[in-house]
Amino acid sequence: GQQLNQSPQSMFIQEGEDVSMNCTSSSIFNTWLWYKQDPGEGPVLLIALYKAGELTSNGRLTAQFGITRKDSFLNISASIPSDVGIYFCAGWGSNYKLTFGKGTLLTVNP
């Protein structure tokens, strides 16, 4: 089956720093999604990417759909305390199932 490797597993940064996390796949995806999950809540969609090479921003967040269609990254600029949470990448493949990465736990030190 399709697998996603998400890294890093966790990050501990100072407020104001930039953050980068990425996902790689063993197979091609047609869509990449990035979600954030706060404690006690469900994942919330941050950015959706539909074309290879696509670069999309949402405020301080920027994500790219890799040219090979097997990877994606998410950058957060000038982090703030409310950026704390678990970030998940997810990919739609040919099996029409959304496969999730194992998440990146982000901690921001004020």
CA dihedral 77, 63, 73, 12 (to 10 degrees): 30
Among 23, 21, 22, 29, residue whose Cα is nearest residue 2: 29
Q: What are phi and psi of 109, to 5 degrees?
A: -90, 120
Residue 14 or 96 having the CB closest to another protein: 96
Residue 78 or 98 having the CB closest to another protein: 98
- Least distance CB 65 / another protein (angstroms): 13
- Least distance CB 16 / another protein (angstroms): 26
- Least distance CB 100 / another protein (angstroms): 4
- Least distance CB 24 / another protein (angstroms): 17
Buried/exposed code over 15-45 (b: 16+ C-beta within 10 A; e: otherwise) = eeeebebbbbbeeebebbbbbbeeeeeebee
Residue 66 or 91 having the CB closest to another protein: 91
Residue 40 or 110 having the CB closest to another protein: 40
Contact residues for another protein (CB under 8 A)? 31, 33, 35, 37, 40-45, 48, 86, 88, 92, 96-98, 100, 102-103
Among 9, 56, 49, residue whose Cα is nearest residue 32: 49
